[in-house]
């Protein structure tokens, strides 16, 4: 059985005052059955992990460099993030693929470094609207999966997040049939590459406009092991009901 996971991606939002919200979330989630992860901006990781110590909420990062250390002004290594208290890192988010021209090859290199530093790599894939309308969704996500996951991926090292680019921050959500099609296709690709036992332990999250109002139906879809949530992860009052919906689906 895969442990359900709900991860919040705060993106470039939050200063010290947001830690109060995190404390509220940790309190609300004290009896959560699902794994709960919040990925604040890097500036808050250390303080956030202190706020969440002895709670169910783990803290993650939103990116790392592919190198272990060196002359990369402004970047952060996986080891630094781990040292600051992160247990996971989001990699290959579509915003990074778009804003920083990140390729599958780079995402794979980052994932390898992150895993070596003891972080779980949450690797994002997802098609644009143009790609979906051209009937290319499965080709696009399969290629991203193939290119971005390291060869030694396993359930303890890697989580895959399917985030259709057109559903992020738009309020538009794919139908449950569309989510089911992509998730079962991703599972089949994982089985082909890593073998059934390893593939079946890798969690598949859905992300893109997940809210408390649609979480229940999304979590009922086969092969959906949880969610990667953006906007609705910023307030405990919005995020806690999503955690409860995932708990109820388990
Ligand atoms: P929203 O939940 O705001 O659509 O963002 C999804 C996302 O990009 C999470 O990584």
DSSP string over 169-216: TTS----HHHHHHHHHHHHHHHHHHH-HHHHHTSEEEEESS--HHHHH
Catalytic residue chosen out of the listed positions 65, 82, 93, 183 = 93
- Ligand 1 in reach of 231 Cβ (< 6 A): yes
User: If pLDDT is split at 50, 70 and 90, which confidence band does 178 have?
Assistant: very high
Helix, strand or coil for residue 13? coil
Specify the CATH number for the domain of residue 18: 3.20.20.70
Calpha distance 173→160 (Å, rounded): 18
Q: Mean per-residue pLDDT for 92-99?
A: 98
Domain count, the chain: 1
Q: Mean per-residue pLDDT for 3-25?
A: 97
Separation of CA 60 and ligand 1 centre (Å): 15
User: If pLDDT is split at 50, 70 and 90, which confidence band does 1 have?
Assistant: confident
User: Strand 5-9 to strand 35-39: parallel, antiparallel, or no bridges (unpaired)?
Assistant: parallel
Q: What percent of the chain has pLDDT over 70?
A: 100
Q: What percent of the chain has pLDDT over 90?
A: 99
Q: Ligand 1 atom closest to Cα of 95? A: 8
Separation of CA 168 and ligand 1 centre (Å): 5
Q: Which domain holds residue 172?
A: 5-249
The model's pLDDT over 185-222, given as tens digits with 9 standing for 90+, comes to 999 999 999 999 999 999 999 999 999 999 999 999 99
- pLDDT for residue 209: 98
Best residue among 13, 96, 163, 226 to mutate for probing ligand 1's pocket (most ligand atoms within 8 Å of CB) is: 163
Q: What is the largest CA-CA distance in the chain?
A: 48
- pLDDT for residue 24: 97
Phi first, then psi: what are they for 78, rounded to 5°?
-60, -40
Residue 31 has pLDDT above 90, yes or no: yes
CB atoms within 10 A of CB 12: 7
Q: Ligand 1 atom closest to Cα of 171? A: 4
DSSP state letters, 38-86: EE--GGGHHHHHHHTTTSSEEEEES---SSSSSS-TT---HHHHHHHT-
Residue nearest to atom 7 of ligand 1 (CA): 230
């Amino acid at each position: 059985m895969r442990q359900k996971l709900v991860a919040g991606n705060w993106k470039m939002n939050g200063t010290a005052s947001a830690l109060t919200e995190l404390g509220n979330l940790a309190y609300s989630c004290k009896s959560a059955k699902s794994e709960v992860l919040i990925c604040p901006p890097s500036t808050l990781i250390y303080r956030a992990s202190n706020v969440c110590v002895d709670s169910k909420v783990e803290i993650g990062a939103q990116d790392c460099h592919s190198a272990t250390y060196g002359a990369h002004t402004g970047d952060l290594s996986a080891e630094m993030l781990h040292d600051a208290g992160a247990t996971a890192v989001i990699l290959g988010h579509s915003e990074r693929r778009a804003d920083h021209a990140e390729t599958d090859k780079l995402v794979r290199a980052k994932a390898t470094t992150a895993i070596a530093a003891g972080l779980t790599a949450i690797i994002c894939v997802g098609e644009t609207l143009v790609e979906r309308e051209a009937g290319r969704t499965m080709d696009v996500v399969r290629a991203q999966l193939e290119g971005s996951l390291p060869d030694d991926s396993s359930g303890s090292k890697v989580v895959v997040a399917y985030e259709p680019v057109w559903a992020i921050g738009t309020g538009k959500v794919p139908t449950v049939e569309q989510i089911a099609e992509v998730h079962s296709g991703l599972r089949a690709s994982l089985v082909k590459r890593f073998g059934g036992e390893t593939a079946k332990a890798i969690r598949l999250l859905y992300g893109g406009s997940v809210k408390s109002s649609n979480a229940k139906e999304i979590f009922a879809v086969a092969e959906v092991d949880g969610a990667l949530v953006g906007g609705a992860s910023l307030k405990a009052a919005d995020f806690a009901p999503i955690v409860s919906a995932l708990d109820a689906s388990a």
